[in-house]
Structure 1
Amino acid sequence: MHALVVETPDGRVRRDPNVQVRGSGGMVPDDAEVVVVREPLRSEATSSGLTLTGTWAGAPAPTVLAYLR
């Protein structure tokens, strides 16, 4: 697991990462459109096909962050 470095008014601070992101894998078609889910917990995003999901405190179940259409 990699450390997370965050810029703060006092400079860079190293923190333990609290997010896990996973891709569904597979080949991406040349004509695929990437859809970024701007509000993952408020949107009803598709989970079919190729997706990028994440989990974090408060969202322990995989949540769709982006998908191909």
Structure 2
Amino acid sequence: MYISYKPLWHTLIERNMRKEDLRLAAGLTTNMIANMGKGKHISMETLTKICETLNCDISDVIELERE
């Protein structure tokens, strides 16, 4: 199993936000956004920042997918 950020990309589309908008609002680095785009792991602290910024649940940001 692996973590997918598909829910995050859908959430951003629904809110008419770009990745750059999220980066600036949540105080993320470009590397964090790039890592998510590549499906790499990010810290729980970063996930928390994203959820707080978007006022959403973790399920709106990540999901587990089977390989």
TM over 0.5: no
Q: Output the TM-score relative to the length of structure 2.
A: 0.29
Q: Give the number of the structure whose alpha-carbon radius of gyration is greater.
A: 1
Report which structure shows greater RCO (CA 8 Å, sep ≥6): 2
Report the structure, 1 or 2, having the larger helix content. 2
